[in-house]
Chain A
Amino acid sequence: MAFRFHLLFLLIAIVSASVQAELTLSKVDRKIDLTSHIVRVTSTLKLENLGPGVASEVLLAVPDYQANNLADLRAVINEGKSSIVLHIEHVSPEVSRPEFTFYSISLTKGLEKGQSVTLDVFSAFTHSVIPFPEEITQADSQLVLYKDSAYFVSPYAVKVQTLRIKFPSARVESYTNIQNTKLNGTSIRYGPYENLPPFSSSPITVHFENNRPFAVAKQLVREIEISHWGNVQVTEDYRLFHGGALNKGGFSRINYQSRQVIGGISSFRSLLARLPPRAHSVYYRDEIGNISTSHLWGDSRKTELEIEPRYPMFGGWRTSFTIGYGLPLHDFLFESEGKHLLDITFGCPMDEVVIDELFVKVVLPEGSKDISASTPFPTKQWQEVKFSHLDIVGRPVVVLQKTNVVPEHNLHFQVHYRFNNLSLLMEPMMLISGFFFLFVSCIVYMRIDMSISKTSASYQAKLQWEEMQATVQQVRGIIGRCLAIHDKLDASLRDLSRTGDVQQCKATRKAADGMLKELSKELKPLLGVLQSSPQASQIWPKVEELAVKEREMQERLMLKHSMVVDSFEKKSGGRDIENRIASHQQKISALKHEIDDLLDAIDEI
């Protein structure tokens, strides 16, 4: 059964192949635009099927001398108001001739007998306008040659056809004159020619003036680095070259500056890059450093950067530079079905630059998985790893390579990948652990004992001294806590005079009393240690005095407290209370002073 089906398909294939020969072009209009150094050909083909079968594809023949320079080829079918882009692929059909390269356009629906369809075929060629003479001086205008066929080269017979060539200026040195040729200002018209058999051609050459910038990037590396912290950084590394007639006889800056109109007409001094809107942190530099001759302006829809190389570009001169800019993340990065999606333009943002070799490197954040790239035209793809700031395993890089790129390739392409947002915390974690390591090493350094001789007298003395210091600190801490309790007692007395809550005041005193007792218990062994320590001989009297004074102050305070509470209970007058505690109060303030002085003295030691 399967075999039968295959046979059937084979038969259909043979039939449809034989049918192709029955196609004919009833009308062909070609327009060749030579106004820049990129040759753009727009052909309108009216196809008619004379044969019995159904035609589903159309063949295009490109002569080999043009095929290598073919940068872009696309076909559009106009149906009503909408236009459909048709699929084109490189084929080698039976009618193949060695001097042609064939492309096959697949029609959206088969063309039946007697029907006709109109196709628009657009193609762009690079390096097809050849400077002649090959070398010119600074003052000369640039003349170029372009070769093509006056007839549309096709595997089908053509009934009626015309060709129009458009020049950048009215200066046309010469052109091949065959029948029905008419030069009209800045354009030339060949045709109409009628009833030409398949593969008929008539070579023509036109020689004309073209002073447009022949800017060719030998190599352009675009690096698009995504940071989920909010930035898409684009870095473009150009190796630019003037592809026009070579400069001879040297360069005179005086002639160039003083007579700009005629001096250096074939050169160009600036290029305009159309960057996406909201581009920020734009820079323009080369190996030496920043190049200051650039201008940047923009609004909400675009950003424009005009750059001037360090010297005007004459034929054959080359320069290399880098431009870079940051773009807001939310304009280019999207999330769809759990996958991240980068959507950004492929080609170079500059006007009319031909790129011989373009590398687009998309640097994804570390930890991206399931990476895939989709471009609207075929490119060579592979993956690399790049190490950048705070990376451990490196960032995955998708590299897209394409040769012969023209501004028509400046389309959006997509890179899909999976990324876990938790991986964002990798970088701060690395920084945090770095700092923490610093602190831990400090802690360790402060704790390790670096001395060589652990038995020497001075080492022992040092140890004891440290121990004594620690004890004094502890004593100081306990005294500090006692003083805090004293303050609390005073505060409770003030509360009493305000609220009259005797019970509360008594409770506070009881608690304070308990705490003070505990503290004095804690203090006792420490004082014992200090007393017996020979190292503390200097400081001991002070500490002892401090302890004694503190105790006295405690007692006085308690006495004062109970006196005030008692008098309060007996409802004595305020003046009376004050008189009774005056002596205590005086003594307490004096003690406080002394204690403060002692503490200062201890701190000094």
Chain B
Amino acid sequence: MAPTPITSPVPVVWYPTLAVLMLSVGLMVTASFFIYEATSSRINRSLTKELITGAVASFFLGFGSLFLLLATGVYV
């Protein structure tokens, strides 16, 4: 079997776009998380809603910051 070249799982040229997109989505979800934290009162605050928002925000922020690192040349 001839050796086949290996490429990155995501094309390298997409990294800056992906970083901007995912970070902006992540920051928006983060903003909604903190708005919810600040406006809802202690009694009728829903833990599931908080956890879901947090999870979604951290997913986008995590991948966004990874792509930001990759786009800036810090190949982790």
- A residues neighboring B (CB under 8 Å): 225, 227-231, 233, 281, 326, 328-331, 333-337, 340-341, 343, 388-390, 421, 424, 427-429, 431-436, 438-440, 442-443, 446-447, 466-467, 469-470, 473-474
Question: For residues 1 through 60 of chain B, which have their beta carbon under 8 Å from a beta carbon of chain A?
Answer: 1-12, 33-34, 37, 40-45, 47, 50-51, 53-55, 57-59
Question: Complex: how many Å from CA A467 to CA B44?
Answer: 9
Q: Which among B5, B6, B41, B55 is the interface contact of A473 at CB below 8 angstroms? A: B41
Residue pair B5, A229 in contact (C-beta under 8 Å):
no
Residue pair B9, A231 in contact (C-beta under 8 Å):
no
Known contacts A330-B6, A443-B37; 18 further A-B pairs (Cβ under 8 A):
A229-B9, A230-B7, A230-B75, A329-B7, A329-B8, A331-B5, A428-B63, A431-B62, A436-B58, A439-B50, A439-B55, A442-B33, A443-B50, A447-B42, A466-B43, A469-B41, A470-B43, A474-B44
- Count of A-B contacts judged by CB separation below 8 Å: 123
Residue pair B63, A432 in contact (C-beta under 8 Å):
yes
In the complex, what residue of chain B is closest to A333 when comparing beta carbons? Answer: B6
Residue pair A443, B54 in contact (C-beta under 8 Å):
yes
In the complex, what residue of chain A is closest to B2 when comparing beta carbons? Answer: A336
Q: Which residues of A contact B40 (CB under 8 A)?
A: 473
Residue pair A435, B33 in contact (C-beta under 8 Å):
no
Residue pair A439, B7 in contact (C-beta under 8 Å):
no
In the complex, what residue of chain A is closest to B70 when comparing beta carbons? Answer: A229
Q: Which residues of A contact B34 (CB under 8 A)?
A: 442
Nearest 7 pairs of A and B residues by beta carbon: A230-B8, A439-B54, A432-B62, A435-B58, A334-B3, A227-B75, A431-B62
Residue pair A330, B7 in contact (C-beta under 8 Å):
yes
Q: Which among B1, B47, B63, B70 is the interface contact of A230 at CB below 8 angstroms? A: B70
Residue pair A229, B8 in contact (C-beta under 8 Å):
yes
Question: Complex: how many Å from CA A443 to CA B40?
Answer: 12
Question: Complex: how many Å from CA A330 to CA B11?
Answer: 11
Q: Which among A343, A389, A424, A428 is the interface contact of B62 at CB below 8 angstroms? A: A428
Q: Which residues of A contact B47 (CB under 8 A)?
A: 443
**B57 CB to nearest chain A CB (Å):** 6
Residue pair A225, B75 in contact (C-beta under 8 Å):
yes
Q: Which residues of B contact A230 (CB under 8 A)?
A: 7-8, 10-12, 70, 75
**B11 CB to nearest chain A CB (Å):** 8
A interface secondary structure, majority: helix
Residue pair A281, B3 in contact (C-beta under 8 Å):
no
In the complex, what residue of chain B is closest to A431 when comparing beta carbons? Answer: B62
| Known contacts A230-B75, A326-B73, A337 near B1 by CB under 8 Å | yes
**A389 CB to nearest chain B CB (Å):** 5
Q: Which among A228, A388, A432 is the interface contact of B6 at CB below 8 angstroms? A: A228
Residue pair B57, A466 in contact (C-beta under 8 Å):
no
In the complex, what residue of chain A is closest to B74 when comparing beta carbons? Answer: A389
Q: Which among B4, B8, B33, B54 is the interface contact of A228 at CB below 8 angstroms? A: B8
Q: Which residues of A contact B75 (CB under 8 A)?
A: 225, 227, 229-231, 233, 326
Q: List 13 A-B contacts (CB under 8 A).
A: A231-B8, A329-B6, A334-B3, A334-B5, A424-B9, A434-B58, A435-B58, A439-B54, A439-B57, A442-B37, A443-B54, A446-B37, A446-B45
**A328 CB to nearest chain B CB (Å):** 8
Question: Complex: how many Å from CA A326 to CA B12?
Answer: 12
Residue pair A473, B7 in contact (C-beta under 8 Å):
no
Q: Which residues of A contact B6 (CB under 8 A)?
A: 228, 329-330, 333-335, 340
Residue pair A431, B65 in contact (C-beta under 8 Å):
yes
**B58 CB to nearest chain A CB (Å):** 4
In the complex, what residue of chain B is closest to A232 when comparing beta carbons? Answer: B75
Residue pair B4, A431 in contact (C-beta under 8 Å):
no
Question: Complex: how many Å from CA A439 to CA B47?
Answer: 12
Residue pair B76, A227 in contact (C-beta under 8 Å):
yes
Residue pair A336, B4 in contact (C-beta under 8 Å):
yes
**B19 CB to nearest chain A CB (Å):** 12
Residue pair A333, B5 in contact (C-beta under 8 Å):
yes
Residue pair B3, A436 in contact (C-beta under 8 Å):
no
| Known contacts A333-B6, A432-B59, A427 near B42 by CB under 8 Å | no
Residue pair A434, B76 in contact (C-beta under 8 Å):
no
Question: Complex: how many Å from CA A467 to CA B41?
Answer: 8
Q: Which residues of B contact A228 (CB under 8 A)?
A: 6, 8-9
Q: Which among B10, B11, B44, B66 is the interface contact of A427 at CB below 8 angstroms? A: B66
| Known contacts A230-B12, A469-B41, A439 near B58 by CB under 8 Å | yes
In the complex, what residue of chain A is closest to B42 when comparing beta carbons? Answer: A466
Residue pair B76, A390 in contact (C-beta under 8 Å):
yes
Q: Which residues of B contact A233 (CB under 8 A)?
A: 75
**B28 CB to nearest chain A CB (Å):** 14
Question: Complex: how many Å from CA A432 to CA B57?
Answer: 9
**A252 CB to nearest chain B CB (Å):** 42
**B1 CB to nearest chain A CB (Å):** 6
Q: Which residues of B contact A334 (CB under 8 A)?
A: 3-6
Residue pair A434, B41 in contact (C-beta under 8 Å):
no
**A327 CB to nearest chain B CB (Å):** 11
Q: Which residues of A contact B41 (CB under 8 A)?
A: 466, 469-470, 473
Question: Complex: how many Å from CA A333 to CA B5?
Answer: 6
